[in-house]
């Protein structure tokens, strides 16, 4: 009799465990944002903060941009922190210990490509290197990270579940732009054009020519000559803020550093370039512009 | 009587398998639908020079 009761209760328990496992820690592919049916090739579709101190980073970005965080599990195992704003995922944080002689903390944008393996081979042929060789990420897709021929680091992703579409409105706290500070912007732009099928175009701006990388009829990223030859080429991620001057002050209060304070000479006072307390560089963009 | 006992045994096996799957999902988090998280260990370089040339940002 007891055995029969046990046998009847166990299926319910097992079902509850399955549902609990999948609902508590596993947002579905469409949870938090709307995904495209097909990958949006050439779009930056995800951003990770690689940092040596996740807790410090949470305090900084939570205080500066109003983000919330969810502890999660990395597709390959280990801790992973998901960043949310107004219930939508906008990126992740992964911990990586800095060695004594270098700072690894950085924002890493991921570019949607048709074939990660082919893109890495192309990058290597063009003078880049594979920093993380192509690997499968469970049911998400396939990813890699490279340095481009000038040394800027970028992630590559081919999603199996679609990419975040363009339905989310830009707003304070969200990622609004990615810009390559290049050693030679024309050569760098052509490299990314070939890497991810991006259309390269230029516009006149502030007395110079600014390079745009376009896909799906939209501006996906910018390429700019680095402001000083000693700057290591890098992809700079832009975060929207309501008041860039107030946000720059807040950066200092929260333990970050202001590298370029807002000023009339710097994009009409709408931009600040800062680091978080762990040394990752980011741009703050007044929004709306 | 034997028939009933075999039936229970078959059910118990099925349930145990289901439980095993559930526990695996629980431990694994059943996650993997969001995020990438590659550990990229490349020095960021000397970012201090970004503070130079503010007027050159087009």
* A26-56: pLDDT as tens digits: 334 345 678 898 899 999 999 999 999 999 9
Q: Does B5 touch chain A (CB under 8 A)?
A: no
Q: Report yes or no: A182 and A137 within 8 Å, Cβ to Cβ.
A: no
Q: Is the ipTM of this complex over 0.90?
A: no
- The residue ranking higher by pLDDT, A98 or A2, is A98
- Which positions in chain B touch A106 (Cβ < 8 Å)? 40, 42, 44
pLDDT at A29: 39
Residue B34 confidence class, pLDDT cut points 50, 70, 90: confident
Grouping H, G, I as helix, E, B as strand and the rest as coil, residue A24 is helix
Extended strands (E) in A88-152: 88-95, 106-112, 129-137, 141-147
B-chain residues near A52 (CB < 8 A): none
Q: What is the mean pLDDT of chain A?
A: 89
Task: Please answer yes or no on whether B31 and A26 come within 8 Å at the CB atom.
Answer: yes
- Name the more confident of A3 and A256: A256
Q: What is the pLDDT of residue A76?
A: 78
pTM of the predicted model, to two decimals? 0.83
Q: Which residues of B34-55 are buried (b: 16+ CB within 10 A; e: fewer)?
A: bbbbbbbebebbebebbbebbe
**Interface membership of B10 toward A (CB under 8 Å):** no
Q: Does B41 touch chain A (CB under 8 A)?
A: yes
B58 touches chain A (CB under 8 A): yes
Give the one of B34, B45, B50 whose C-beta lies nearest to A82's C-beta: B34
Yes or no: say if A225 and B56 are a contact pair by the CB < 8 Å rule.
yes
Cα B24 from chain centroid (whole Å): 11
Q: What element of type H or E holds A46?
A: strand A44-51
Backbone Cα Rg of chain A: 21
Q: How far apart are CA A175 and CA A192, in angstroms?
A: 20
10 Å Cβ neighbour count for B28?
Answer: 15
Nearest-CA distance A152 → chain B (Å): 9
Considering only CB atoms, which chain A residues are within 8 Å of B26? 17, 20-21
Is the model's pLDDT at B18 over the cut of 90? no
pLDDT at B50 over 70: yes
């Amino acid at each position: 009799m007891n055995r029969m009761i046990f046998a009847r209760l166990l299926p319910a328990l097992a079902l509850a465990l399955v549902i609990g496992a999948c609902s508590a820690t596993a947002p579905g592919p469409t949870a938090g944002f709307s995904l495209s049916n097909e990958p949006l090739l050439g779009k930056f579709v995800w951003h990770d903060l690689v940092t040596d101190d996740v807790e410090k980073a949470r305090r900084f970005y939570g205080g500066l941009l109003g983000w919330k965080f969810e502890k999660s599990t990395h597709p390959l195992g280990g801790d992973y922190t998901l960043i949310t704003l107004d219930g939508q995922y906008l990126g992740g944080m992964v911990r990586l210990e800095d060695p004594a002689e270098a700072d690894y903390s950085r924002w890493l944008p991921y570019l949607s490509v048709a074939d990660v393996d082919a893109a890495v081979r192309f990058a290597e042929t063009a003078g880049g290197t594979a920093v993380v060789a192509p690997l499968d990420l469970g049911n998400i897709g396939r990813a890699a990270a490279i340095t481009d021929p000038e040394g800027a680091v970028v992630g590559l992703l081919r999603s199996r579940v679609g990419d975040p579409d363009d339905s989310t409105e830009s707003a304070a706290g969200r990622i609004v732009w990615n810009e390559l500070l290049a050693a030679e912007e024309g050569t760098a732009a052509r490299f990314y054009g070939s890497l991810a099928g991006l259309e390269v175009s230029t516009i006149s701006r502030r007395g110079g020519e600014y390079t745009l990388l376009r896909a799906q009829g939209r501006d996906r990223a910018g390429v700019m000559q680095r402001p000083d030859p000693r700057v290591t080429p890098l992809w700079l991620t832009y975060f929207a803020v309501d008041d860039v001057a107030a946000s720059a002050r807040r950066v200092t209060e929260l333990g970050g550093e202001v590298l370029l304070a807002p000023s009339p000479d710097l994009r009409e006072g709408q931009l600040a370039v800062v680091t978080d307390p762990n040394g990752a560089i980011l741009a703050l963009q007044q929004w709306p512009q | 009587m034997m028939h009933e006992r075999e039936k229970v045994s078959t059910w118990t096996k099925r349930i145990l398998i289901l439980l095993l799957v559930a526990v695996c999902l629980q431990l694994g988090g059943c996650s993997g639908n969001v995020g990438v998280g590659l550990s990229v260990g490349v020095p960021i370089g000397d970012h201090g020079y970004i503070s130079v040339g503010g007027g050159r940002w087009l």
